Structure 1
Amino acid sequence: MAAISCTLLVDDDETTNYLNQTLLRRMAVTDAVLVATNGQEALDLLHTHCVPVATPSCPALILLDMKMPRMNGAEFLQAYAQRPPGENPAVVIIMLTTSLNPLDVARMQDLPIAGYLTKPLTREKVNRILHEHFAR
């Protein structure tokens, strides 16, 4: 069994999702990977896979892009926080971004996330997430 039962990738770039999915599978760190291309799709997946929240298909890790159409990362977090507490899993949310703009970094400090990483996702960054948040 992998360290993470299920991971949710939320990014509007299909190539990024493919590469991240491939990396996570090659590293064998997650049993399942769900993919959403915007925040609304991610909320829909949580509704489908987290009832009840203790199911193995409910994500324990969400890798969330900041800038997406329809519903961006910050809007997703706001909507996630408004869901009934019994519907939200205990999840580690990591913001993935291409931006090192000081204003974007400052905005991320105010979001309810466990941390942020710059893209691309690498083996070292995944290992850091595992070490810091999943005791592995």
Structure 2
Amino acid sequence: MFKKILLVDDDESSNFLNETILSDMDAAQVIEVAQDGIAACDLIGSGSCPELIFLDVRMPRMDGFNFLERLSTMEVCPHTKIVMLTSSTRSEDRQKALQYENVLDYVEKPLTEETVKKISEEYF
């Protein structure tokens, strides 16, 4: 079980479903939700360091890639790992995401119990 997971997605339905799946699995003691990269940066900047972030690529205000760039300059939460959870099937997005050191994987929505178990077993 993780201490803290952060969901970053502008789609409220996706956040609700993902939070439900994670809660039903008892995957984390704490599950936080941010509607975009700016809100996620605010949470992390306030000292909230999740072990794992599920990050969408396409969001208004600050997308997933801009969040990754900003996080790399914030010098906080060095051990936080990220899984891109997105509906984007563009191979360019996948390649770009996996260039970031803290990005573990790039998976397509929806989040499933199998995906969470796989990530937990392979990377933690």
> Match of 1:70?
61
Deviates more, 1:125-134 or 1:18-27: 125-134
Aligned Cα root-mean-square deviation (Å):
1.2
Show the 5 A alignment for 1:79-98.
79-84=70-75, 87-98=76-87
Larger Rg: 1
Please tell me whether residue 133 in structure 1 is matched to residue 98 in structure 2. no
Consecutive unaligned residues in structure 2, runs of 5 or more: none
> Match of 2:3?
5
Identity over aligned pairs, percent:
40
Shift of the alpha carbon at 1:91? Answer: 0.9
| 3-state SS, counterpart of residue 114 of structure 1 | strand
Distance 1:89 1:30 in 2: 19
Deviation string for 1:11-62 (max 9, x for gaps)?
0000000000000000001000000010010010112233xxxxxxx31010
TM-score, normalised by the number of residues in structure 2: 0.93
TM-score, normalised by the number of residues in structure 1: 0.85
Consecutive unaligned residues in structure 1, runs of 5 or more: 51-57
Contact 2:57 2:88 in 1 (8 A): no
Equivalent of 1:20 in 3, 18, 21: 18
> Match of 1:60?
51
